[in-house]
Chain A
Amino acid sequence: MNGWLGLAVTAFALALAPAGLPPYAMTLLTEALILGLFAMSLDLMVGYTRLLSFGHAAAYGLGAYTAGNLLLHTSIPMVFAVLLAGLFSGIVAIGVAWVCTLASGVSFSMLTLAIAQLFYAVAFKWTPVTGASDGLAGIPRSPGPFGITFFTDKIGFYYLVLGCLCGAFIFCRSLVRSPFGAVLQGIRENEAKTRSLGFDTRHYKIAVVAISFALGGLAGALYAPFAGFTNTELLFWLFSGQVLIMVIVGGAGTLIGPIIGAAFFMLVSNLLSSWTDSWALFFGLIFICFVLFAPQGIWGLATRWFGRRRAPEVKGKRWRSLNWTG
């Protein structure tokens, strides 16, 4: 219950943020929350099912391009366009997952990478839909439904993002605590054993990839009207690598950790690059320090600091279990 109280307080503080923060801070915060949603969606795969995806940018890009096209070429209200785009990513993901789950371990990771890079190549060539290397620009925040314009301005959009994040978080949290989630964690700890218990693990894996892509797509779909543009960079492997780092820095398998990791990643890179051209140097050092001195990620550090009793042994096991080779 204590956890819920903390979360409620955090959500409340975030809800009040627009009252106290200057416009540029709101811009950063909104983008941080979008990336947080994206990282959290990956955590379902990485942290709970031990499916290390190297191609999660595909989800983000799919969502962003779908939402971009819906908003540019139809008059669907933004809120619906965003949800539809998320749904669409999830549906596409079923096909992606079907192919990728033919393999496991490193090969799974590389298949996700290959598919994401194919999406990237397609985005470069399918000019009428993706705008090729320019991407789609000038994506509007269409008002509605019923003429509601609340979400179209800066603050309103922030609340839309916050709402999506909170909703997705509650959904994921109940998901991982459900029997379905237990099977996922069974796959993480020992797939063979889970299978021998009579679960068709491949179906579960396809399901979790689809859910993860749908939420990742939702994040991408929010990004398109937030930034007003989409670009092939959103599908590039480097971005997949970055979001994986966000999850790990925050603390995989905790849901909340990756959100913090994403915010940390974005805000720190932003701060550092304003401060020095050599930001990459310090950024790299931060990662190495994390690995050496804070292996459980930011959330692991935080929980230890606040003295919550979350048996570290379990954590250690979870971390070791992230190994590809088991």
Chain B
Amino acid sequence: MDFLGFLVTECLNALSQAALLFFLGVGLTLIFGIMRIVNFAHGAFFMLGAYVGYTAVSVTGNFWVALIAAPLLVGGFGVAFELGILRQLYRRDHSAFLMVTFGLTLIMGEAIRLLWGVAALQVPAPKSLSGIVFILDEPFPIYRLFLICAGIVVAIGIWQFLERTRLGLLIRATAQNAEMVHALGTDVRLVRSAVFGIGCGLAGIGGVLAAPLVTASLGMAPNAVIDTFVIVIIGGMGSFAGSLIGALLVAFVQVFGTYYFPDLALALMYLVMLTVLVVRPGGLLGKEA
């Protein structure tokens, strides 16, 4: 394996990881931007996505159905949770959200265990994507290239959605000044429900996409939630572009760091976060300190 081949392979690996992290991070950061809450249950929504994906794949035999069904179901569940519980808490402080979402994580984890069992489940990638291509004589999985493309498509999609659509405009406005939006005659509550649903749905997509790489398992939620926190914090809470940069930074540091300093693998992410926050307390693109 020559150096160029190595470099290209590892960069692609990092990009595919960044895509997965981005699906998680962008949802969390949107939710934070609008609702000012830290959604501790984000990892659980991610996990739910993987399990729903498993069922969809095993019932229909079609990965693409899973990719549509999971975000809809997970997003729908998110909206229901927002309407049923979170909505009553907006006048309360962060600790209330922390506890509610922590509680929800426990409940979802156990519900998934009861519904799907304790054993890890296989979600195979679709046949058309499970091959390999040779890049500079190095084999590279097509599925990972697909992940990168999916990441790019979704990133552009969300960006355009935020910039071009009316709901996107409302979301940005609400993030800036919710009271003003409310005063101008828009029901901010609807915007919040929508954003929470979208955020959870994105986590759900992430779950389905990650499942062929890691299988659907009960360990997904705790692993994911902390990674997501880190990238969102690095990018700056509430910043869409920040979550993208955070995901890229963490993925590249993780991939190359693990290669050159395998003993630091566990600490790398936190070292990056520490450095960023010490230099810029609000995160790279964050506004508040």
The answer to whether A and B touch in the complex, with CB atoms under 8 Å apart, is yes
A residues sitting closer than 8 Å to B (CB atoms) are 46, 52, 99, 102-107, 110-111, 113-115, 117-118, 120-122, 124-125, 237-238, 241, 244-245, 248-249, 252, 278-281, 283-288, 290-292, 295, 319-325
Do B96 and A288 touch (CB < 8 A)?
Answer: no
CA gap between A113 and B102 in the complex, in Å: 16
Contact residues, B233-289 vs A (CB, 8 A): 233, 237, 263-264, 266-267, 270-271, 273-274, 277-278, 281-283, 286, 288-289
- Whether the Cβ atoms of B94 and A324 lie closer than 8 Å is yes
Q: A248-B99, A320-B92 are in contact. Are A281 and B270 (CB under 8 A)?
A: no
Kindly name the residue among A102, A111, A287, A292 whose own CB sees the greatest number of chain B CB atoms within 10 A: A287
List A contacts of B103 (CB < 8 A).
283-288, 291
Check if B282 sits within 8 Å of A291, measured CB to CB: no
- Structural contact, B89 and A110, CB atoms closer than 8 A: no
Interface size on B, residues (CB 8 A): 48
> Which residue of the partner chain, among B102, B264, B278, contacts A241 with CB atoms under 8 Å?
B102
Please tell me if B106 contacts chain A, counting CB pairs below 8 Å: yes
| A107-B233, A125-B263 as given contacts; A281 in contact with B111, CB under 8 Å | yes
In the complex, what residues of A have CB within 8 A of residue B99's CB?
245, 248-249, 287-288, 290-291
CA distance A115 to B273 in the complex (A): 10
CB distance from B111 to the nearest CB of A (A): 7
Is B110's beta carbon under 8 Å from chain A? yes
A-B contact pairs, 22 of them (CB 8 A): A52-B94, A52-B95, A102-B277, A106-B237, A107-B233, A107-B286, A113-B229, A117-B270, A118-B267, A121-B264, A241-B102, A245-B98, A248-B95, A248-B99, A283-B103, A287-B103, A288-B100, A291-B100, A291-B103, A292-B85, A319-B93, A322-B93
Q: Which residues of A contact B114 (CB under 8 A)?
A: 278, 281
Which residues of the other chain, B, contact A281 by a CB distance below 8 angstroms? 106-107, 110-111, 114
Expressed in whole angstroms, the Cα–Cα distance for A102 and B266 within the complex equals: 24
Please give, as numbers and ranges, the residues of chain A lying within 8 Å of B289 by CB-CB distance. 103-105, 107
The smallest beta-carbon distance between B258 and chain A, in angstroms, is: 13
Contact A106 B106 (CB under 8 A): no
Of all chain B residues, the one with the shortest Cβ separation from A279 is: B110
Distance from B202 Cβ to chain A, minimum over Cβ atoms (Å): 21
Bound form: Cα–Cα A99–B276 in Å? 12
Could you tell me which B residues sit within 8 Å of A by CB distance?
36, 38, 40, 85, 88-89, 91-96, 98-100, 102-107, 109-111, 113-114, 222, 226, 229-230, 233, 237, 263-264, 266-267, 270-271, 273-274, 277-278, 281-283, 286, 288-289
Q: A104-B289, A114-B270, A115-B274 are in contact. Are A245 and B102 (CB under 8 A)?
A: yes
Q: Are B266 and A106 in contact (CB under 8 A)?
A: no
Shortest distance in angstroms between B284's beta carbon and chain A's nearest beta carbon?
12
Contacts of A117 in B (CB 8 A): 226, 267, 270
Chain B residues contacting A105 (CB-CB under 8 Å) are 288-289
- Starting from the known contacts A99-B278, A105-B289, A111-B278, 10 additional A-B residue pairs (CB-CB under 8 Å) come to A99-B274, A111-B274, A122-B267, A280-B107, A284-B103, A287-B99, A287-B103, A287-B106, A291-B103, A322-B93
Report chain B residues within 8 Å CB of A278: 110, 113-114
Q: List B contacts of A287 (CB < 8 A).
A: 99-100, 102-103, 106
Establish whether residues B271 and A110, one from each chain, have CB atoms under 8 Å apart when the complex forms: no
Q: Which of B85, B100, B102, B114 has the most CB of A within 10 A?
A: B102
Given A280-B110, A285-B107; A237-B93 close (CB under 8 Å)? no
A288 CA / B103 CA spacing, docked (Å): 6
